[in-house]
A and B are shown apart, each in its own frame.
Chain A
């Protein structure tokens, strides 16, 4: 079953509605006594301040359970801050004790491109760098809906699968083993976004 993380600040309802339309069974992370052995996929929705999300998933050891699942090669899809949380540190953080999951090497940095007025909010097109499972049937030049101020500055460039076409420094998606992250919001990107979600659901572990 798919585990849908409730980070406390996300647009959870948008995900519930999409998963229902796709007939995909899921369990919410706040459900009592879910068994880690029943989980076959994880989706971590976006929206929220890095520190707040770190703090919320530290409750009931949810962060440790996520790490354990990912180490067991359970496919993970993180959206926006759900992608950024894969890193240990973010420049958004006000409190150095707030640390992300540390599953991807690098740091979450503030966008410094002077041509982008922050927050970077709206539809922007991506460049697919390497063919990958999450972007099956998606071509370079496709628009997705973004809303963020910080981006994932990966240490290993091989983790990056797509970038913003006109701002190649800004990572729009990553993949490492069974860990996937997208900076944009597939749940709000209509047809192309839905394709990404279907591609993720189709990934076999």
Chain B
């Protein structure tokens, strides 16, 4: 049976491992390469690395530094951050990544979904969607005037029509706050998405991971702060939730 995953999300800025709160207030939490080594040694199910300087459009994704990171890694690993071309995807896969997470790149150029899937297959193309709650409604944090993204549900529908792979969903309001996952958001999008959901933002405890992974389509509980500010590890979480959730030990 397919196992549900605990996925550490590592944010990098200026080659440092950082943590944000609601996408701002960067705080350095450590050394990226050291951290990847530890997650690799502990046989995490998967890792996601986001170059947030590239996400913020300050620079393009740093292939050279990511190559140094991936040399320490023998597990499944995804990369994200400002990816806007097939050439960037090709370079990331070529240095050993298995999947890419694309967010603003798709919003800015909706045809890019189809172009990337046509070349790399949908399994390697994950769409990242950052969602905020404004005036009691969930919406994309940026839309880039995309006519297919007038509403969140339009954008999810469009991406699925274009055959994208997994959905990496982040609740901006909960990101870095360690207040628990945003179940209100998950309850809203779960019926709309017919792909595996990797849910991110707010994870605070073992129980929280268990609760989020009990949703049928949530295949990955993504987390960051708990791995830097508490003693929890992906393995310790999984050993506690294995009774009720099918995980890989």
- Chain A residues with CB under 8 A of B74: 14, 17-18, 187-188, 190, 194
A9 within 8 A of B: yes
- A149→B189 CA distance, assembly (Å): 22
In chain A, positions 131-182 with a C-beta closer than 8 Å to chain B are: 143, 145-149, 165-166
Which of the residues A9, A48, A94, A117 comes within 8 Å of B217, measured between beta carbons?
A117
- A166→B95 CA distance, assembly (Å): 33
A49 within 8 A of B: yes
B219 within 8 A of A: yes
Sorting the interface of chain A by its residue count into under 10, 10 to 19, 20 to 34 or 35 or more gives 35 or more
Which of the residues B1, B71, B97, B121 comes within 8 Å of A166, measured between beta carbons?
B1
- A13 and B67 in contact (CB under 8 A), knowing A123-B45, A123-B248, A147-B99? yes
* B93 pairs with A11, CB closer than 8 A: yes
Residue in chain A with minimal CB distance to B98: A11
* A52 pairs with B98, CB closer than 8 A: no
* A52 pairs with B70, CB closer than 8 A: no
- A51→B217 CA distance, assembly (Å): 29
Task: Tell me how far the C-beta of A194 lies from the nearest C-beta in chain B, rounded to whole angstroms.
Answer: 8
- A125→B217 CA distance, assembly (Å): 19
* A9 pairs with B123, CB closer than 8 A: no
Residue in chain B with minimal CB distance to A125: B1
A-contact bits for B1-31, CB 8 A (1 contact / 0 none)? 1111100000000000000000000000000
Which of the residues B3, B94, B195 comes within 8 Å of A122, measured between beta carbons?
B3
- Chain B residues with CB under 8 A of A119: 122-123, 165-166, 195-196
Residue in chain B with minimal CB distance to A56: B119
- A48 and B120 in contact (CB under 8 A), knowing A125-B1, A185-B76? yes
Which of the residues B70, B99, B122 comes within 8 Å of A149, measured between beta carbons?
B122
* B121 pairs with A81, CB closer than 8 A: yes
- A12→B67 CA distance, assembly (Å): 12
- Chain A residues with CB under 8 A of B206: none
- A146→B76 CA distance, assembly (Å): 10
A92 within 8 A of B: yes
- A13 and B96 in contact (CB under 8 A), knowing A48-B119, A48-B120? yes
Which of the residues A14, A18, A149, A185 comes within 8 Å of B121, measured between beta carbons?
A149
B210 within 8 A of A: no
- A190→B93 CA distance, assembly (Å): 18
Given contacts A14-B74, A119-B165, 19 further A-B contacts (CB under 8 A): A11-B98, A13-B95, A48-B121, A49-B121, A119-B122, A121-B166, A122-B4, A123-B3, A123-B5, A123-B45, A125-B1, A147-B98, A147-B99, A147-B124, A148-B123, A165-B1, A166-B1, A185-B76, A194-B74
Which B residues lie at the A interface, using CB under 8 A? 1-5, 43, 45-46, 67, 70-71, 74-77, 90, 93-99, 117-124, 165-166, 194-196, 217, 219-220, 248
Which A residues lie at the B interface, using CB under 8 A? 8-14, 16-18, 47-52, 81, 92, 94, 116-125, 143, 145-149, 165-166, 185, 187-188, 190, 194
